Amino acid sequence: EEEMARMSPVAKGCMVLSSIIAPCLYAPLAIGKVMRIARLGADEPRRKFYCHAICSLDELKSLGQQRGTGALTSTLTTGILEAFFAAMPTDYKSANVASNVLFDPIAPEGNHMCVKVCNFRREGHSMKRAARQLRETGQKVADGWVSAFSRRYALGELPQPASDFVDARQKELDFLVSNLPAYDNTTPEVLDLKVTREFVTWAPSIVYALGIGERLYLDFYWEVRPGFNEEIFVKTIGEVLHASEVHQNLPSCY
């Protein structure tokens, strides 16, 4: 806001104009992206998969610099994607990956399942390339459309056919990264933390990420497709994200 106040009227006008023109210029590309994430895959039986891991925020920041992924959220998402592709059969060509969007962090309702979604192709995949795709203008335009539409779904404002459309596609997501509110520090120190989820269904497949101090606690509650190799995923997620305490033991409340 302070920078905007210091800008000349001409500069402000150019910024406003570019914000209007960009969505129009990139709309065809964004439409293609939305069409890819809107496709439904084959109706396959799935099985439940759970994994817990602890990551160091400093390690993730360092990894982002090494791999050229930039922001911490991009590093986390693309690192999980790398482990996912490693665990899937070679004929699995692409993945639909979502991230949660908080429209109002202090709102008691309305934030659940507001998402942005990106379709990543496996061919030529790298963490750097995937992070670049997340930053593309066409992807950002598509994110705006999808998050606005999914917000209406979360608030129950869509007609039933549209709501059913969203419901079917959110269940088909390969995974959703849900960043929960973080805490800078706690007293006493938290040594480990697990997020729990009801056992009836784990669709959509969600990675809960909760940061406390210098650690990020991850809980994977997924319904995976046939051919998903749990052993390879657990091994790769530990190696890629330099994670510790990686195991598949459900929280004791179960």
CA distance 241 to 16: 39
User: What is the percent of the chain where pLDDT is above 70?
Assistant: 80
In which domain, by residue range, is 82 found? Answer: 2-247
Tokens of 111: 């934030």
Say if 101 falls within a structural domain: yes
- Do residues 30 and 137 touch, judged by C-beta distance below 8 A? no
- Do residues 233 and 83 touch, judged by C-beta distance below 8 A? yes
The CATH number covering residue 93 comes to: 3.30.559.10
Alpha carbon separation from 107 to 102, 117, 155, 168 (Å, rounded): 9, 22, 12, 26
- Do residues 250 and 57 touch, judged by C-beta distance below 8 A? no
Higher confidence at residue 24 or residue 84? 84
How many domains in the chain? Answer: 1
Highest mean pLDDT: which of 13-17, 141-145, 190-194, 230-234?
Answer: 230-234
Residue 140: is its pLDDT beyond 70?
Answer: yes
CA distance 94 to 82: 12
pLDDT for res 1: 43
CA 211 to chain centre: 15
CA distance 160 to 173: 20
Say if 198 falls within a structural domain: yes
Alpha carbon separation from 65 to 89, 122, 128 (Å, rounded): 29, 22, 10
Say if 187 falls within a structural domain: yes
Say if 254 falls within a structural domain: no
Say if 253 falls within a structural domain: no
Which residues are CB-contacts of 163 (< 8 A; sequence separation ≥ 6)?
153, 156
**26-56: per-residue pLDDT in tens?**
666 667 666 776 777 767 889 999 999 999 9
Confidence bin at 3 (pLDDT 50/70/90): very low
pLDDT for res 75: 95
Across 129-146, average pLDDT:
90
**DSSP code string of 105-127:** TT-SSS-TT-EEEEEEESTT--H
Say if 37 falls within a structural domain: yes
Higher confidence at residue 167 or residue 83? 83
Say if 79 falls within a structural domain: yes
CA distance 124 to 11: 40
Say if 252 falls within a structural domain: no
Query: What is the chain's mean pLDDT, rounded?
Result: 84
Query: What are the φ and ψ backbone dihedral angles of 173, each rounded to 5 degrees?
Result: -55, 140
